[in-house]
Amino acid sequence: MAKPSRTNTAMRIIETSLQLFNEQGERNISTNHIANHMGISPGNLYYHFANKDEIIVQLFKRYGNELLAYFSQNKLPESVPQMVNYMAGLYDVMWNYRFLFSDVNSLLNRSVELLGEHNEFTRDKIAPLSVKLLSKLNELGVVEIDERGKQDLATNMWLVTKYWFDFDSSMQPKAKMTEDAKKRGVYRSLSLLRPYLRPQYQEEFDKLVTL
């Protein structure tokens, strides 16, 4: 039987780490846990990744690529229903990497490389896209918002979205987080948009964006 290639082993390490981090929390999982779960030696794991933080950086890069792929494959929403679906899809991607958004500041403070990846991704990819989305809704007459408002709202919506899973789990500390957290997150993120909706869209919004 052919031995697994180095690339395949590295990918298995990443996949296993993601599963364990999401299910049990990143803080509760060591490289030894990952190796044991895979049935490989710690030395084999260290051959591919010097430490757990290197694995996390690779997972963040993969998350970023998947989120950008989602944005590129789905056109910007032009209506309230499309906006709800668009936000729900974003939360679906984030849910698959939810460990990244639990105690996110601790992760960033621990790894200079991860901090750099995170800040570059937010600054160069997320921020411009968020402003572009709000500009389009403004042009279509769905919202009414000025330039400063676009910048502020884009930042505030991303702040709520990025930290939502961490906040939601803190409100239910003894309960295991379920996918219901996504629906609550969609509501909370889009609630920031409601004050800028033109009156004719508010009733539709209230029917669709509910808990």
| Distance between CA atoms of residues 122 and 124, nearest Å | 6
Q: What is the pLDDT of residue 119?
A: 75
pLDDT digits (tens, 9 = 90+) for 162-204: 889 989 988 887 778 899 999 999 999 999 999 999 999 999 9
Neighbour tally for 72: CB within 10 Å: 8
Closest CA to 191 of 177, 179, 208: 208
pLDDT digits (tens, 9 = 90+) for 58-94: 998 899 889 889 988 999 999 999 999 999 999 999 9
Percent pLDDT > 90 in the chain is 65
| Distance between CA atoms of residues 98 and 120, nearest Å | 20
DSSP state of 43: H
Q: What is the pLDDT of residue 84?
A: 95
**DSSP string over 163-206:** HHHHHHHHHSTTSPP-THHHHHHHHHHHHTTGGGB-HHHHHHHH
Q: What is the mean pLDDT of the chain?
A: 89
With a cut of 80, say whether residue 47 has pLDDT above it: yes
Count Cβ neighbours within 10 Å for each residue of 78-100 and write b for 16 or more, e otherwise.
eebeebbebbebbbebbbebbbb
With a cut of 50, say whether residue 130 has pLDDT above it: yes
* Total-model pTM: 0.87
